[in-house]
Structure 1
Amino acid sequence: MKIKNYIWDFDGTLFDTYPVMLEALEQIIAKHGIDYEGDLAYFIKKYSIRKFASDYATPDFIDDYHVLEAKLQTDVKFYPQIPAILAGIVAQGGQNFVVSHRDDQTYTYLGDLAPLFTEIITSDNHFARKPDPEALTYLIDKYYLEPSQTAMVGDRPLDILAGQNAGVKTILFDEAGIFGDNAVKADVLIHTWEDFERTKVRK
């Protein structure tokens, strides 16, 4: 699979933010007195925090969560291999993009990595949320990206579905081994960023 351009999810893909997100979610669940006995980490990976709020909580739950998560998320770190991967893509003539459900705080978290991206789309751009392909289609059309040479990279099924809906290739980063059966049928399934470097997705 010859890929030149990469559209990246942010949380849990470029940056290891899920531990703090999960901590904030657990605290807000306790605050709201919600009794949930399922695997919370699995739920938010398979679906989303927004779906959890919709299924189990009151309307103010998601706002409370976002306030606490922003307060707790003080040491935001990218996966160690990510800077070299991004720089390598650019060095080979490719482009990187971000499509994130996080707001414009994304720019702050990216910091020195931001110049490695041609465009960064956040929730403040008001595109339809993944798996709707609206944001991806916008990038494909704006930058004349060849779908067969473009991949959506993410850690959740909704990222992969967004890529499939946009007609591009897909790479599922499954660090926790939750989606080992690859039921969503991503073109490439990896468990570490070393796996990414060893695959032929960039050649």
Structure 2
Amino acid sequence: MTGKSFAVKGLCFDKDGTLFDFSATWEAWALAFLTRVVAGDRARASTIGAAIGFDMATGKFARDSLVIAGTPGEIADVIAPLIPGLSRVDLLIMLNEEAATAPQQPAVPLVPLLTGLRAQGIALGVATNDSETPARAHLAAAGVTDLFDFIAGYDSGYGGKPAPGQLLAFAAAVNLSPAQIVMVGDSTHDLHAGRAAGMRTIGVLTGAAGADVLAPLADVVLRDIGEIPGWLETQGAL
């Protein structure tokens, strides 16, 4: 990204694959959800899993899986035709219930990182394509909810990524220009949203996408969010 440089005054984080390691969290979620939704019928679970890019045999997601950047609503739309006995509403409830209890593995120790960023006067936000309720449950379980100035899911009223609505709402909530904020994420949806909002972007490698995929849309690609303070020092932000 070119143009005038501004000091970084805000960071807006994606949740899954960014604050939390994607594989450690969502592979366990997929196994639990798929087993539950078909009452243990592994053959049906495999069929439904394949539709969302999850391999029951290996317990792994494909790099282009809908789950990586999609919303629960989008996942439900794909799965619903394969489970005719379950309404879309009930399916969404089940998706969110399993998401809320999915084991979360922070990408790095979150409390010291976020506390340090706040101590430097940096506003912090979360913009996720997960629903807001399980997102808040995940952040609460990690003990970091109160460290964020803004938390939005795809159902919070601002839309989902790659549209910029969540990010612009964060900017408004903390009274900053988008040019003063960096969007941090592990997927192209995150980075497209950041660019559309007029923000700088950081790609991290704790999701499914590699550096080759993220680099064209990112100002920098880092191993994980633990490297952000060092990068900020190079920007004159800390």
What TM-score range do you get, normalising by the shorter chain?
A: 0.7 to 0.9
- Please list every run of 5 or more consecutive structure 1 residues that lacks an aligned counterpart in the other structure: none
Candidates 173, 186, 195, aligned match of 1:164: 195
* 2:90 counterpart of 1:66: no
TM score, norm. by length of structure 1: 0.79
Determine if contact 1:20/1:72 at 8 Å carries over to the other structure. no
Determine if contact 1:82/1:193 at 8 Å carries over to the other structure. no
* 2:217 counterpart of 1:185: yes
Determine if contact 2:150/2:173 at 8 Å carries over to the other structure. no
- Please list every run of 5 or more consecutive structure 2 residues that lacks an aligned counterpart in the other structure: 39-43, 55-60, 82-86
Candidates 129, 134, 147, aligned match of 2:165: 134
Candidates 28, 31, 37, aligned match of 1:20: 28
Residues 25 and 174 (structure 1 numbering): CA distance in 2 closer, same or farther, change over 3 Å? farther
Deviation at 1:135, TM superposition (A): 1.8
Comparing 2-11 and 55-64, the one that deviates more: 55-64
Deviations 1:156-202 (A, max 9, x none): 11111111111011111122563321354111211233433432355
CA distance in 1: counterparts of 2:68 and 2:154, whole angstroms = 20
Candidates 98, 111, 126, aligned match of 1:83: 111
Deviation at 1:69, TM superposition (A): 2.3
Comparing 141-150 and 129-138, the one that deviates more: 141-150
Say which one has the larger Rg. Answer: 2
Aligned residues: 202
Determine if contact 2:100/2:138 at 8 Å carries over to the other structure. no
Determine if contact 1:12/1:18 at 8 Å carries over to the other structure. no
CA RMSD of aligned residues (A): 3.2
CA distance in 1: counterparts of 2:166 and 2:123, whole angstroms = 16
SS in 1 for 2:47: coil
TM score, norm. by length of structure 2: 0.69
